[in-house]
Structure 1
Amino acid sequence: MRSTFKVLFYTKNQSVKNGKAPVMGRITINGTQAGFSCKKEVSLTLWDAKANRAKGKSEEARILNQELDNIKAQITKHYQYICDHDSFVTAKKVYNRYVGFGEECHTLMVLFKEQLESYKEKIGKGKAESTYRGLVADYKSLLLFMKTKKNIEDIAIDELEKPFIEDYYTWMLGTAGNANATAFNRVNTLKWLLYIAQERGWIRVHPFVSFECVPEYKRRSFLSEEELQRIIHVELKYKRQRAMRDMFLFMCFTGLAYADLKAITYDNIHTDSDGGTWLMGNRIKTGVAYVVKLLPIAIELIEKYRGVDEKKDSPDCVFPVGEYNTMFLSLKIIGKKCDCRTEVTPHIGRHYELSLSLNLNSLQRFVS
């Protein structure tokens, strides 16, 4: 991506002494700026503010202009080097290279990628795949904002200021058309990244800590008892679709999320002294313990897949869960087939509110 690049010189008139003012420089690249002192002075009578250099042919003017030309040439060289060897360029990055700063320039999207890779390695080991997918969507949103709004693909962390997150939030609600709750969550993701940078000592002050926004969550949709009954009794041609339906129903009757369903093994199932069957484990997303008394229908679903190892991650797993997108698409098809007004997704299953009037005896046919 082509960037705009400019170097100009000016005098610091508020620091005039003996008729001379310090000469300052400013690098401007894609709207980012870095100012610096040229460590030179010039008589105000010699300075041409419009031309950004000394005027006339005096020895003082000739020497100063030569030195300013040299400074500009050096900065241009460093600018070109960064363009040729890096994915993005900013004014501060060019300035740091010009003055010989040796420390590494830490950038926002590189940090984001690092956190994504770290999170991905922990999926199933205390981290949920659904959260990872959300972070990937957050990454793509932030990258799109910088490309279309800022004309950059990355930014140095120490260049971030509060207007950046304000612009991002406005862009999400406007141009991107994100829901208020989505924008709120993505703001928090960005804040989380900057807390990591702060903990590592890359920045002294968190630039976004004072920015606040309030989410407006939509009322959650639920399946009606009639819709659930249609899902239970619908004739499904394919074995894999029937398995997806069974696992969705188990989520409805236990409140488990997709990640928790995929994680449960027979070790999570316990029988008490009264013969009651319980499901015990820890939520993948939060690590919080859960204990669920299993209804007869849930127990029968477990037994239906005992010894059926096809599609299971291991023989110890209770259900052949598979990939999230596969379940999502299968449930979408099943929901349409059952004429459900509410979209049937893995997520909605765990929020189904079981009616006390539901006749559990009517559910036995489909598991037998």
Structure 2
Amino acid sequence: MKHIQRLRKVVTLAYHLEWIDRDPFVKWKMKYDKTTREFLSELELKKLEEKVFISERLDRVRDLFVFSCYTGISYVDIMSLTTDNLVLYINGGNWIETKRQKTKATVKVPLLDQAFRIIKKYEDHPITAVTGSLLPVITNEKLNVYLKEVANFVGIQKKLTFHMARHTFATTVTLSNGVPIETVSKLLGHSKIATTQIYARVLEHKISNDMNILQNILRNKNKESESKNKA
């Protein structure tokens, strides 16, 4: 769609400059088909975290995926992380500060315990010692191939891809636990909340919890109103 949008601008300009006789896009309308983006549920993520792998290769792949699930950082940005990107703030919290390769936007992510444990695991690891990276480096192609093996061992039926970790962060880890979408958008490095909404899915249990809170508020208001009327 982006390619067509840009081509259309050039073709329209050519028509206005009379370089071409007619605009081939004049009766054409762009149509966007929404797709369902997969993510891991809380139970699936927990099973993945707790799985013990005999293979060190699959163990590393699982760690990289889980790290992305708890930070929202994309594959390409994780591969470029070094110890320089690990920042200790005044309040004692550990953060990752980096720039998204895709948009050049600065991203600052407070590290949850699950993500920080993975960093500590590879702190003195021979692999990261050689590469100078914060986490093990592996090609995206191999990573996605190995993720299929990981899914089979864990019993996850979904087609596991590394980008699914980013969706999981947006949906299962943050939004479903009450983190505002504005905050999630900032953590993901998006310039527009509309972009974040592509990743975001409000789960049924979140809707149920929110409605229960609303129900309690309305009940308390009714009780207060009844008490005032009796008085």
Provide TM-score, normalisation by structure 1: 0.41
Give the conservation status (yes or no) of the 8 Å contact 1:262–1:321. yes
Unaligned runs of 5+ in 2: 179-231
Match of 2:165 in 1: 349
1:18-167 maps to which residues of 2 (within 5 A)? none
Amino acid at match of 1:339: G
Check the 8 A contact 2:98/2:108 in 1, yes or no: yes
Q: Radius of gyration: which is bigger?
A: 1
Cα drift, residue 312 of structure 1: 7.5
Larger helix percent: 2
Match for residue 3 of structure 2? 189
Q: Which gives a bigger RCO, structure 1 or 2 (Cα 8 Å, sep 6+)?
A: 2
CA RMSD of aligned residues (A): 3.0
Q: Classify the secondary structure of the residue corresponding to 1:281.
A: strand
Q: Answer whether contact 1:252 1:350 (CA < 8 A) is retained.
A: yes
Of residues 59, 65, 68, the one that matches 1:248 is: 65
Aligned counterparts, 1:203-242, within 5 A = 204=19, 210=26, 211-242=28-59
Matched, 1:274 2:88: no
Q: Which residue of 2 aligns with 1:333?
A: 149
**Structure 1 residues not aligned, in runs of 5+:** 1-184, 358-368
Q: Judge conservation of contact 2:66–2:165 (CA < 8 Å) in 1.
A: yes
Q: CA deviation at 1:313?
A: 7.8
Distance 2:109 2:145 in 1: 28
For 1:266 and 1:204, the matched residues in 2 are separated by: 55
1:264/1:318 contact within 8 Å kept: yes
* Native 8 Å contact 1:230 1:338 kept in 2: yes
Mark the CA change 1:335 to 1:212 in structure 2 (over 3 Å): closer, same or farther: same
Distance in 1 of aligned mates of 2:12 and 2:101: 27
Is the Cα contact below 8 Å between 1:266 and 1:318 reproduced in 2? yes
Name the SS of the counterpart of 2:52 in structure 1.
coil
Please give the alpha-carbon distance, in whole angstroms, between the structure 1 residues aligned to 2:141 and 2:116. Answer: 26
1:259 aligns with 2:73: no
Aligned residues with identical type, % of pairs: 26
Deviation at 1:341, TM superposition (A): 2.8
**Contact map agreement 1:270 1:280 (CA 8 A) in 2:** yes
CA shift, 1:189, in A, is 2.1
The C-alpha deviation readout for 1:184-234, integer Å capped at 9, x for no partner, is x3xx325546767999xxx94695654431211112222111111111122
Higher strand fraction (1 or 2): 1
Match of 1:180 in 2: none
* Residue-pair matches, total: 168
